[in-house]
Structure 1
Amino acid sequence: MRQSILTILGTATLFIAAPATAQEVPLIPGDYWEVAEIDVNDGSGPAYADYLASRWRQNQEFAKSKGWIKDYMVFSVVNRRADEPDLYLVTIFERAPTASEQMAREKEFDAFLKTNARQEGAAFAARGAMRKVGGEMLLQRQLFRK
C-alpha cells in the first residue's frame, strides 16, 4: 500500500511540475477562408467557367495585388451527392476589413472595374441564370503551435 501511495504522489508531482507551455492550447488562429457554395445550372457550366476565368479571377487578382486577400481557388465536387454544390469558391485573407476600409475598397473596385454598386448588383443578378449560390461559410484555419 505504501508503494501505491508513493507512486500516486510521484505521478501527481510530475503533473504539477509540468511547464506552463505544456498547458497551452496546441492550436493558434490563422487565416480566414471564405467559402461560397455554387450550384451551376444545367447547361451553364462552360459559360460560368468563362466568368470565373475572366471577371471573377480579375477581381481576385486585383484584391490580391492590393494585399486585401492572400489567395483564392476554385474546387469542384468530384463525387457530388444530392444537395451538394458543384463548386466551392475560396478566398483566403488575414483579417476582415473595418467598415471604413470596406467602403474605401468598394470605391477602388468601382474605379478599377469602371462600374458602380448598382451595375455590379445587376451583373450579380444576371449570373443567376448560370448558377445558384447555396450559401457561404467563413472558416478560420487553426495552426499547430511550433
Structure 2
Amino acid sequence: MTHALLRRAMLFAAPIALLSAAPALAQDFPADPGQYWDVTGIELTDGGSYAYMQWLADAWKKDQEFAKSKGWISGYKVLQNTHPRDGEPDLYLVVMYKDVPNAEESLAQRKAYIDWYAKQSKNIEKLEAESNDRLKMRRVMGTTMLQEMILK
C-alpha cells in the first residue's frame, strides 16, 4: 500500500515539477547562428609570396567579386598569420556566405562560373593549369567551414 501512495504522490508532483521547469526551457539560447565562413590555410613557399599575393589581388579577388555580385557570398578576406609557428599557415583565405547552397544551387553556380570564365577565354583545362602553376608559390593546407555565433 505504501508503494501505491508513493506512486500517486509522484504522479501528482510530476506536472508541478514540469511547470516550474517550463521557464528554464523557454529561455532563449545566448547566441544565434550567423554566417558561414570557409577558411583556407595557405603555406607560402620561399620566394613565392609576392607572386601569390599578386594572384590574390587580381584573379582571386575578381572571382570573389563575381560571386559577391551574384549574391552567393557576402564577403571575403585575406588574413596574414603574423607569427606562424612551424606547421601553421602563413595566410588564411576567408569567404563568408549566409546560406550553404543545395545541390541545385551549386550546379547553377558552377554553370554561371563556367560561362563567366568563357567570356575571359578560360576553360576548365586552363584553370587547372593555372592552379598547377601556383604550386610553385603555395601549398593549400586545408579548408575549414565555420559558422559565426552571434552573441545576444
| TM-score bracket, shorter-length normalisation | 0.7 to 0.9
Structure showing greater Rg: 2
Higher alpha-carbon deviation: 48-57 or 104-113:
104-113
Q: Which amino acid in structure 1 is aligned with residue 27 of structure 2?
A: Q
Q: Which runs of 5+ in 2 are unaligned?
A: 1-19
C-alpha root-mean-square deviation of aligned residues, in Å?
A: 2.0
Aligned to 1:33: 37
Q: Given the superposition, is the C-alpha separation of residues 32 and 87 from structure 1 closer, same or farther in structure 2, using an over 3 Å criterion?
A: same
Change (3 A) 1:58 1:44: same
The Cα shift of 1:20 comes to: 5.4
Count of aligned positions: 132
1:56 match: secondary structure = helix
User: Identical aligned pairs, as a percentage?
Assistant: 42
Which ranges in structure 1 are unaligned for 5 or more consecutive residues?
1-15
- Select which of 88, 111, 127 maps to 2:134: 127
Structure 1 residues 61-80: aligned runs within 5 Å:
61-80=65-84
Q: Determine helix, strand or coil for the equivalent of 1:82.
A: coil
User: One-letter code of the match for 1:98?
Assistant: N
For residue 138 of structure 1, what is the aligned residue in structure 2? 145
Give the TM-score normalised by the residue count of structure 2. Answer: 0.79
Which residue number corresponds to residue 101 of structure 1? Answer: 105
Partner AA of 1:43 in structure 2: G
Q: CA deviation at 1:116?
A: 2.6
CA shift, 1:85, in A, is 0.6
TM-score between both structures, scaled by the size of structure 1: 0.82
CA offset at residue 18 of structure 1? 7.7
Whole-angstrom distance in 2 between the partners of 1:116 and 1:101: 21
> Which one is further off, 56-65 or 106-115?
106-115
